[in-house]
Chain A
């Protein structure tokens, strides 16, 4: 079945460091891919998305490129801030009438001043 695998956390970085959170997926066909972010005690916020191979999603300095050949959608940011501390979820949505998001387990990011 479909699945998403994320690197385990927590990821601990100093402010202004470079961030990479790895995400790989297994799916039939050509899913859409998403990154959601969850701040403590809150629901999920859409961070970025990509709907086809080689698309790059970007938002708030975060980027991720849909790589079909490696079935990956790694999240990157050039310079993290303390306010980026949160849990990040990679997810896929199969096309063609399937409607449930499949999430990874999440990666906790802690950024220190």
Chain B
């Protein structure tokens, strides 16, 4: 299967701990996006990369959040000093710049901060 994959699928952590999520996009896609979805809401954009360059960041992405895509392939999203308000589903998507630019989503990582 060559879809978008995310790991881990679930993460439970204690407040104040750091967590890191990984996203592997569809192999030929050069754009990668992170979104956050809270219960009962639609996903909200966090940031996106074109190849290894991070081109846009939402105001939702506080200083405790950092995302990287070091070789233009997989990406990591790290949350430092987690807070209970960080509990959400973190979704990754990828797309290709030529053509339709449809974004394809992974299964998500569900984070629970206790």
A residues adjacent to B (C-beta < 8 A): 4, 32, 34, 36, 41-46, 49, 51, 89, 91, 93, 99-106
A sample of 22 cross-chain residue pairs with beta-carbon separation below 8 angstroms, ordered by A number, consists of A32-B100, A41-B110, A42-B107, A43-B4, A43-B6, A43-B105, A43-B107, A46-B103, A46-B105, A89-B42, A89-B43, A91-B42, A93-B103, A99-B31, A101-B43, A101-B93, A103-B42, A103-B44, A104-B42, A105-B41, A106-B40, A106-B42
Q: Do B105 and A105 touch across chains, with their CB atoms under 8 A apart?
A: no
Chain A residues in 8 Å Cβ range of B103: 46, 93, 101
Shortest beta-carbon distance from A41 to chain B in Å: 8
Residue of A43, A45, A104 most packed against chain B (CB within 10 A): A43
Q: Do A44 and B100 touch across chains, with their CB atoms under 8 A apart?
A: no
Task: Provide the bound-state CA to CA distance between A101 and B91, in Å.
Answer: 12
B residues adjacent to A (C-beta < 8 A): 4, 6, 31, 33, 35, 40-45, 48, 55-56, 58, 91, 93, 100-108, 110
Chain A residues in 8 Å Cβ range of B107: 42-43
Chain B residues in 8 Å Cβ range of A44: 43, 91, 93, 105
Chain A residues in 8 Å Cβ range of B45: 100-102
Question: Quick one: closest B residue to A51, CB to CB?
Answer: B100
Q: Do A99 and B43 touch across chains, with their CB atoms under 8 A apart?
A: no
Q: Do A105 and B40 touch across chains, with their CB atoms under 8 A apart?
A: yes
Q: Do A42 and B108 touch across chains, with their CB atoms under 8 A apart?
A: yes
With A43-B91, A44-B91, A51-B100 as known contacts, state yes or no: A100 contacts B105, CB within 8 Å.
no
Chain A residues in 8 Å Cβ range of B56: 99-100
Q: Do A49 and B43 touch across chains, with their CB atoms under 8 A apart?
A: no
Shortest beta-carbon distance from A46 to chain B in Å: 6
Chain A residues in 8 Å Cβ range of B93: 44, 101
Q: Do A100 and B102 touch across chains, with their CB atoms under 8 A apart?
A: no
Shortest beta-carbon distance from A55 to chain B in Å: 12
Q: Do B102 and A103 touch across chains, with their CB atoms under 8 A apart?
A: no
